[in-house]
Amino acid sequence: MCGIVGIYHLDTPKPVDPARVAGMCDALAHRGPDGEGVWTAPGVGLGHRRLSIIDLAGSPQPMASSDGRAVLVFNGEIYNFRELRRELAAGGVHFRTDGDSEVILAAWQRWGTDCLQHLQGMFAFAIYDLEARSLFLARDRLGVKPLFYTTLSDGSVIFGSELKALLAHPLLRREADPLAVEDYMTWGYVPDHRAILKNVHKLAAGHFLLLRHGKPLPAPSEWWDVSFAGRRAGRRAALEEELHALLEEAVRSRMVADVPLGAFLSGGVDSSSVVAFMAKAGAQPVRTCSIGFDVTGLDETAYAQKIAQRFGTDHVTRRVSPDDFEAVEALAGMFDEPFADASALPTWRVCQLAREHVTVALSGDGADEALAGYRRHVFQRAEDRVRGALPASMRASVFGRLGALYPKADWAPRPLRAKSTLLALAGDSAQGYARALAYATPEMREGLYSPEFQRLRGEYRAEQPLEALMRRAPARSGLDRAQYADLKFWLPGDILTKIDRTSMAVGLEAREPLLDHRLVEFAACLPESLRVRGRQGKWLMKKAMQRHLPEDILYRPKQGFVTPIAQWFRGPLRDAAREIVHGKGLAASGWFDQRHLGHLVEEHVSGRSDHARLLWQLLMLERSFTTLGLV
């Protein structure tokens, strides 16, 4: 796991200053504390920060191919590199190292852009081909590893693993994109189709860019997608065995490392499943770690301890105080872009704990998206049945009117939030799911924005890209489309961004075996009844894991990392909440209605309403603006 940067001149091959590339690398020092390197040639410069995981001494980067024609910088891991190495060696390739980096170079030279189809893993990499004078940028199928890029006024394209690498270049223009703010206020993160700064882009998951001197910047090319259009036939027992085998292989393949390896363990289905297969595959006890909370109802450590005892793991636990709010400033610097998923804080803490014991940690992320594990999937399926039974005109008229009249109750459990359900049923499946995912509904956002911001936003609404994605999805049903949106939109923008930044901040490599693309492709073709049955999501996975895990782990209510931000904003963060209204960040932008913000803050502080999630969202936006120098 590493950090990569680069500078590439599209027009004339101007000299690239190695010190400038090194400066961009220095901004990513946390991603690669074990080594650094810079390589330049006419019109191009590549930089690398290394966290050594495989072939600790033998694979320094930037790495040149054996014939000197191509140079690579690479962030990630290729899990099938040994099989590929044998295949390429049989075709005459001679390898000088024992790692996966040289295998990528050889695969590029053998297959060109088609090399991506042969790679199983998580990655973002750049290859400069000296003979073709081309730069090849690629990102893995699900977007586990990030890649930012932009064009500058001098005609160059710069790229890096994080936005802070681009910020290190003096020609980068720092201007907030109001459409990205609309996206952020809707979803709680800036999705991959946009960045918080104008003219900065993220290479989308499953896409590549092939740049050539003398030619304009091309549009990214999609090289992988997941299809929900098919359905696997066969008996349930056979499909269960196939799923079990895919789960086991996904975990086993991610246990290759030349450094200490462990796992995050929350005591939920997904992390417990990963630990179960690790214990089966390994000769030594698995090293596991958990974070607990000194708040009743938020602590899951008893479940994690039960799994640790069941599989004899070397388990460590650390409790986080409910007053762990001092990390707000650190989070803003960690993510660069505003990021409002409050579980980032405990995720960072568990990464810190893991790094004290291991260099690589396996997580359970991805199963909910791939196998329909969220409660919203259950609701989406049920709501689609109602939509299918009533004409659209009737739903829009009846449910729309009732939803507009029904009182708002965001504090209530989802089944009791009749306003949200009614408004969701008034629209089509994509519109309903957008409401289910949104941090702030359209109605909430209208009250937040100033007239100036509404003018800048124009006709754009953040729901539009998500709804369009769902409508063109290769899918059969509303549940299919919801999962497709999760995998293509929510997963890379929120979940994978969170684990990448929090793990890399402490020099820890996190691996997500449940996002093995073969597992994801298999799950996408399962009949709906094997994904969701009744009120149970991830139904077939739970059946497959019954041989390993007890029922109180498999079927207990989903919890996840929860942070007591409601209490914080009525206590130690009360002043910070009020600073949102009058501070130099959001107030200086002129994009928000300060009077309305002040009303929300005082309602929450007094205990009359719970606006904790919205206040956290605004606080992280304000901190991001300050960190990025936008105010």
Task: Supply the pLDDT for residue 51.
Answer: 79
Number of neighbouring beta carbons within 10 Å of residue 94: 8
Dist CA 618 CA 603 (whole Å): 15
| Closest by Cα among 509, 628, 496 to 191 | 496
Task: Supply the pLDDT for residue 427.
Answer: 63
Q: Among 512-516, 535-539, 576-580, where is mean pLDDT lowest? A: 576-580
| Closest by Cα among 327, 189, 313, 262 to 509 | 262
Angle of helix 429-437 relative to helix 463-471, nearest 10 degrees, comes to: 140
CB-based contact 262:287 (threshold 8 Å): yes
Averaged over 596-612, what is the pLDDT?
93
Task: Supply the pLDDT for residue 128.
Answer: 98
Task: Supply the pLDDT for residue 414.
Answer: 47
Active site residues: 2
What stretch of H or E contains 545?
none
In our burial notation (b when 16+ CB lie closer than 10 A, e otherwise), range 585-596 reads: bbbebebbbeee
Q: Among 88-97, 453-462, 468-477, 578-587, where is mean pLDDT lowest? A: 578-587
Over 80: is that where the pLDDT of 337 sits? yes
Averaged over 364-372, what is the pLDDT?
96
pLDDT one-digit tens code per residue, 288-328: 999 887 766 667 889 999 999 999 999 999 987 767 777 88
Dist CA 131 CA 106 (whole Å): 15
The residue that leads in pLDDT, 274 or 50, is: 274
Largest Cα–Cα separation, the chain: 73
CB-based contact 433:470 (threshold 8 Å): yes
Which residues touch 523 (CB under 8 Å, ≥6 apart)?
Answer: 243, 370, 371, 531
Over 80: is that where the pLDDT of 564 sits? no
Task: Supply the pLDDT for residue 413.
Answer: 46
Dist CA 84 CA 27 (whole Å): 33
Kind of pairing, strands 44-50 and 63-64?
A: unpaired
Over 90: is that where the pLDDT of 420 sits? no
Structure tokens at 171: 């020609």
SS3 371: helix
Dist CA 228 CA 143 (whole Å): 19
Q: What 8-state DSSP symbol labels residue 337? A: S
- Residue 58 binned pLDDT confidence (cut-offs 50, 70, 90): low
CB-based contact 581:622 (threshold 8 Å): no
Task: Supply the pLDDT for residue 319.
Answer: 83
pLDDT one-digit tens code per residue, 175-187: 999 999 999 999 9
Confidence (pTM):
0.93
The residue that leads in pLDDT, 529 or 417, is: 529
